[in-house]
Amino acid sequence: MVAERALEGLDPDQRQIAECLRGPVSVLAGAGTGKTRTITHRIAHGVSSGVYAPERVLAVTFTRKAAGEMQARLRGLGAEGVRAQTFHSAALAQLGYFWPQLVGGPAPQLLGGGKIPTLAQLADALDLGLSKEALRDVASEIEWRKVSMLSIEDYSVRLHAGERTAPNGLDAQQLIRLQENYALRLEERRQIDFEDVLILTTGMIESEPRVAVQVRERFRFFTVDEYQDVSPLQHALLRAWLGDRDDVCVVGDASQTIYGFAGADNAYLLRFDEEHPGARQFRLERNYRSSGSIVRAANRLMRDQPGALTLHSAKTGESEPAFEWFRSEREEAEAVAASIRESIDAGTPAAEIAVLYRANAQSAEIEAALNGLGVDTTVHGAQRFFDRAEVRQAVMLVRGQAKVADDRPLFQIVSDLLRAVGWGTAPPEGAAARERWQSLNAILALVDEFPPKTTIQEFSEELLARSRVNHEPALEAVTLSAIHAAKGLEWSLVHLIGMSEGLLPIVYAEDARAIDEERRLAYVALTRARDVLRISGTAGGARADRAPSRFVAEAGLPLPRSGRH
C-alpha cells in the first residue's frame, strides 16, 4: 500500500513509466506533460517498493535550481536518501573523495570567478586588447572544446577548416595561443575549471578499476533529466558511472534542445535505443500546462522537426495567442508595460506574468517601462535568491530562533523576525526598497505552504534545505527573463517580445542548423505560457527595417496587415 501511494495522481501514461523500474528506459516528454512529476514518482515508487535502495539512486539534471526542486519533490514523496544533483556537483564530490587516495593531497582548486578574469590577464600579456564580449566568446570556445572532448590540436584543425569561428579581434593563431596559455596557467596554479571536473572524474573512473568499483557500488540506479541537453563529455561520464550496467532512465524533449551552441546533442536522446538495445521507450504528449490554442501554435512551429512530439492540451477554455507589431523597441515596451499594468489591475498576480526575450540587452526598455508604471520586476538569473543580503540575514535569524522554545504560531514568529530586518505589511516606495521587501515577503509567504502546527524548528530546517539547493520561492513581481533561462518555468501570462528577424532568429544564425535551434528556442518561449500568450515584434526604429520573425507565420499566427506607426 505504501508503494501504491507513490503512483497516486498519475495519468495512465505517467503511471506506466513509474511502474517500469528497471532500465534501460527513455521517456520522450513534451513541454508541460509532467515529466518531473513522473520521474520523481517513479523513483519514489522504486524506493517504497523496495526495488531501489535510496542511497544507491542518483538523479541527475543540469542546474542547481532543477536539482533542488527535484530533491524537494523526492523528500515530499518520502524518498529520503536519494541524491538529486547536477553532473558537476556529483563529479566534484567524487573527485574530491578519490583524488587524495590516488594522487595524494587535496584535489586541484576550482577556478574562482569563472574563466574571464584569467583570460583577461593572458590577453593583456599577449597585447590583444580584447573586449569583455570577446573574452566571453573565448571562454565559450574553451567550454565547447572541452565538452566536445577535443584536444587543442583537434580544435585547431576544426578552426582552420572553418567549422569554428574565432571571436572578433582574434585570428585563429591568437585564439589557439590564448587557449594554450590558459591551460598552462591553470596547470601552474594547480587549478581546474568546471569542464575539467567532468574530464578528470571520467578519466579517473575509466582508468582506475578500484575507483570504478566503488563508484558503481555507491550508485546503482540512474535517472537523467533534460537528456536532450547532454554533451559528449557528460555522456562519457554517465557511461563511466554505468559501466556494463543499464539501469538508467533518461527523460527529454528534442524540441527543447537549445544549448547546441554549448555542445548539447539531442542525438543521445533520439538514438538511445541504438546505444541500449532492448530499451523501453515511452512518450508523454498530454500537455497539462498550456491552453489548446497555445499548444496548437507550438505544434505548428515544430511540425516535421526531428523528434518533435505532437502535444494535446488537457485544458479547457482558451485565449488565442496574439501578435502585435511596433515601430520601435520603446513603443513596444510601453505598450507591453501598459498591457501588463492592465492585467495586474484586473486581478492577474504579478508573479504569474513574465516577459521573455532572446537577448539580455532587450530587458532594459521593458524594465524601465514597467517601473515607470509602478510594476515591480525581477530579472531572472540576475542573482540567486538565497545569496541576497537580506535573505541571508533573515535565514540566520530564523535559524537562531529555532534554538529557542517558542509556542507562538509560525506566522507570528516569522513575521516578527522579518520586521527586525525591515519588512512591513505594505511595500515601501522606491525600486530598490521594494525589491528588498519582495525578498522578505517571499519568505513569509512560504509559511502558508506548511500545515498550521508547523514549528519554527521545522520551518528553519526547510529554509536551510532550500538554501542549500537554491530552491527559490516565487516573488510578487513580473519576471523578466531571457528565453534560455526560462526553460523549465511557466507563467499564466507570457509576453514574448522582439519576435523580429535578426532578434529571433538572431542575426548570426545563418545556416539551417542554427535556424533550427532558434526555432526550438521560440518553441520553449511559447510553451512557458499557461493561459495567455502575447507576442510582439518591432521594425527596429527609423534606421532599421526588420520584418516579423518567420516563426510567427510558422506557428500559424496572423501577421499584421501593416505595422503600428
Annotated binding site for ATP: 29-36
Secondary structure of residue 430 in the 3-state scheme: coil
What is the spatial distance between Cα 135 and Cα 124, in angstroms, rounded to a whole number? 11
CA distances from 183 to 156, 301, 498 (A): 15, 43, 39
What is the spatial distance between Cα 259 and Cα 524, in angstroms, rounded to a whole number? 12
What is the spatial distance between Cα 236 and Cα 206, in angstroms, rounded to a whole number? 10
Helix/strand/coil percent split, the chain, to 5: 50, 15, 35
What distance, in Å, lies between the first and last C-alpha atoms of the chain?
Answer: 65
What is the spatial distance between Cα 175 and Cα 141, in angstroms, rounded to a whole number? 9
Whether residue 548 has a cis bond before it, omega within 30° of 0? no
Spatial contact of 473 and 446, defined as CB atoms under 8 Å apart: yes
Spatial contact of 225 and 478, defined as CB atoms under 8 Å apart: no
At residue 44's C-alpha, the angle toward residues 39 and 50, to 5°, is 130
What is the spatial distance between Cα 387 and Cα 533, in angstroms, rounded to a whole number? 32
Q: Across the strands, what pairs with 491? A: 529
Cell numbers linked to 443: 519568505
What is the spatial distance between Cα 338 and Cα 447, in angstroms, rounded to a whole number? 33
What is the spatial distance between Cα 225 and Cα 35, in angstroms, rounded to a whole number? 9
Type of residue at 205: I
Spatial contact of 409 and 377, defined as CB atoms under 8 Å apart: no
CB contact set of 233 (below 8 Å; sequence gap of 6+)? 146, 147, 148, 149, 195, 198, 199, 202, 263
What is the spatial distance between Cα 74 and Cα 465, in angstroms, rounded to a whole number? 13
* Element containing residue 414 per DSSP (H, E): helix 410-419
C-alpha torsion angle, residues 300, 305, 307, 309 (rounded to 10): 10
> Which residue positions form the known binding site?
29-36
Cβ count within 10 A of residue 75:
17
CB contact set of 460 (below 8 Å; sequence gap of 6+)? 398, 399, 401, 402
Residue 560 has what DSSP assignment?
P
Spatial contact of 375 and 344, defined as CB atoms under 8 Å apart: yes
